[in-house]
Structure 1
């Protein structure tokens, strides 16, 4: 290789060309992939070749071969699960993060990314109306954000009970009683499992999936000892929010730590017309969210927020002689997350917020909720379509009479490929779930979504 020819220029040029072609295709390509993983395995697998391939040729091969197996998740016509797109500034800054190749664990070693993430964290607290003194850590996603918040809870609850978790571990420790709403997301249970806290007590929920405060009070009163209560901002199916003011008051009466799973719903606090959904949430002790969902930054960007920095840093931090600490700063990034080495995943959050501003974030979040309302209204006007939830945020649940018909309509929609909506089961019924999470979703995509359901239902009826 000649001096100065490091191979980056042709490889990055190829990547930029393929990336732009992919983005340009999103407005018209079928949403679903055309090949299955088993069909693509032979293309990408086989014995490792003895000789390598130039970097730009690798990129070309990768992009061309992967194309048929890609789901158009960044499309405004993708309504599956709760998956957002990516804002231009967030995408471009994520490329820079990879090029900079900074290990973002130490403030002293990577001052630029540390300062950027600290600014992003403060902006998030400001937007969401959370305590300005809380610690903010950038983790992989909502699962690890919940895990991190609950890890801080575990440390604090046991320390307050006189147990040294760091020295003695969990064996023999006072049992932490964990309480969740009946319709919490399963990743909350997963985080509790990771933490060795066992199966939580399920608290009854109302018809929209909101935890019932009186039932929480009764459950907490039925025992004694340290307690962790997990609330929810944004039910997976209905989009509903737990009654934070009442539930947190109950938890406080019993001395419990309150964690809020706000994977996609925490951002409602940024939109004036939706802020009422989050009333009282700021009184919790920790919060978890995923910036990829409602904010629309690239994957690998959860946000863990903890009111008590000492608990978070005790749970997550470490001390080693070879690490160089910045004595002037607010602590090292690795003290707030379950990783030592990591990419600077908070940089795209900063870029997204910088590009949108306060008003832009409010408009984006409010726009997602407005699109969901428009979809629900359009669906409700179709003969034989039931809207099962009270649509107050970004989720819409549909049924088409009996379960067999609902499953058939769901399969037909996916087969046609104009939109993607995922099936689920809620309130003992099979449903078609519509999640509006992408900043690209406009009135045109709303109309396409309604027409796709109309067409699929007609095809099922006529089959």
Structure 2
């Protein structure tokens, strides 16, 4: 095992060393060579080093150098040295990070990382939080907490009774809402096409003057902190008070812009967003940790727990914070380790 891991480190280092010279997109010949992977499932075991060699020699040349400083496609980060190394170590640990009793180190590290994130992002220190795969699941998780709250106020237990017969929920989004948030609404049974779309300005910001008048009926308002095309922020300071007056849950899709709160020169862009009920972002963009690393925060910790909690006779209950009560997954990677390493190595 030690020899294999040393060889893996050497191959990974050579790959990263090529970032300064190799073209960003793979050569057509390298992409064509991927057909080598189309082979019958081997009938017998083989040397792990040979499998690694094939993966590196055929796979590596056909990758896009998304982590390079010369890559400008989409909104994709790289990986900090400490985060990459911590990712490898967490893989060696192979602890799921779901329960304290079986995974105390990942659970502790994740708890510390969540506290640091709340501090860096300027969110209330008593917020609930969780690590998920990316902004899609972060949006789903935050909106699920909101769904729980607005239906509970209407006398409906959505986790126990589902949506059949439930009071309808009005969901308000901007005309340029990101498609992953719409996907999240579909997965939650709130409907992709049942949303109320608010007109936007020429930068994709939701127009406060066009915001609909909400009643006391259950409602969830989804704002954007950072438009994917322009970087524009919805006018949260104008919209959130209107939403709160009607008793709506306010969710923020901050995949592209929530991290502005961590930059003194850009923090003013986040004015008003701190008054929301839930926030979604990720760490694999601006914080530069390896894929995947999504983040959900909720002002009401119990709402998040109510929407996500899981119990069973075989699952160990303890007096520590159990991450499995705040995420959609039970079995999952200990994603908080990468984020902790990135924040600790960077410092304030």
Instruction: Report the TM-score, using the length of structure 1 for normalisation.
Output: 0.73
- Counterpart check, 1:140 vs 2:133: yes
Whether 1:323 aligns to 2:315 is: yes
- Higher gyration radius (CA): 1
* Aligned equivalent of 2:300: 308
Q: Which position in structure 1 is the counterpart of 2:344?
A: 354
The equivalent of 2:188 in structure 1 is: 195
The corresponding residue for 1:214 is 209
**CA 214–91 in structure 1, closer or farther in 2 if over 3 Å, else same:** same
Question: Which residue matches 1:227?
Answer: 219
1:397-436 alignment runs, 5 A limit: none
What is the aligned partner in structure 2 of residue 177 from structure 1? 170
Which residue of the other structure, out of 62, 68, 71, is the alignment partner of 1:78? Answer: 71
Determine helix, strand or coil for the equivalent of 1:305.
strand
* RMSD of aligned residue pairs (Cα, Å): 1.3
Report SS of the residue matched to 2:334: coil
> Once the two structures are superposed, what CA deviation does each residue of 1:14-39 show, in whole Å capped at 9, x if it has no partner?
11011101110001110001248973
Q: CA deviation at 1:109?
A: 1.4
1:35–1:68 CA contact under 8 A, matched in 2:
no
Q: Return closer, same or farther for 1:36/1:309 CA change in 2, 3 Å cut-off.
A: farther
Please show how residues 46-445 of structure 1 align to structure 2 within 5 Å: 46-198=39-191, 199=193, 200-216=195-211, 219-221=212-214, 225-327=217-319, 329=320, 331-358=321-348
Query: Which residue in 2 is equivalent to 1:389?
Result: none
Return the offset for 1:51.
2.3
Cα distance in 2, alignment partners of residues 129 and 36 from structure 1: 48
Structure 2 CA distance for aligned equivalents of residues 108 and 242 of structure 1: 42
Distance in 1 (CA, whole Å) between partners of 2:222 and 2:30 is 36
Question: Which string of whole-angstrom CA distances, capped at 9 and with x for unpartnered residues, describes residues 341-380 of structure 1?
Answer: 111101100000001111xxxxxxxxxxxxxxxxxxxxxx
Distance 1:167 1:243 in 2: 36
| Change beyond 3 A, Cα 1:38–1:355 | closer
Alpha-carbon shift at residue 42 of structure 1 (Å): 2.5
1:291 shift after superposition: 0.3
Q: Describe the SS at the equivalent of 2:347.
A: helix
* Deviation for aligned residue 1:192: 0.3
Aligned residues: 346
SS of match in other structure, 1:300? coil
Whether 1:26 and 2:26 are equivalent positions in the alignment is: no
**Shift >2 Å, 4+ stretches:** 35-42
The C-alpha deviation readout for 1:113-154, integer Å capped at 9, x for no partner, is 111000000000000110111111000001000000000001
* Mapped contact 1:93–1:348 kept (Cα < 8 A): yes
SS at match of 2:268: helix
Q: Secondary structure in 1 aligned to 2:213?
A: helix
Structure 1 position 44 matched with structure 2 position 34: no
Distance in 1 between residues matched to 2:213 and 2:87, nearest whole Å: 44
- Residue 220 of structure 1 and its aligned partner are, at CA, apart by 3.3
More displaced 10-residue stretch of structure 1: 200-209 or 85-94: 200-209
Structure 2 spans left out of the alignment, 5+ residues = none
* Shift in alpha-carbon separation, 1:37–1:247, aligned structure 2, 3 A: farther
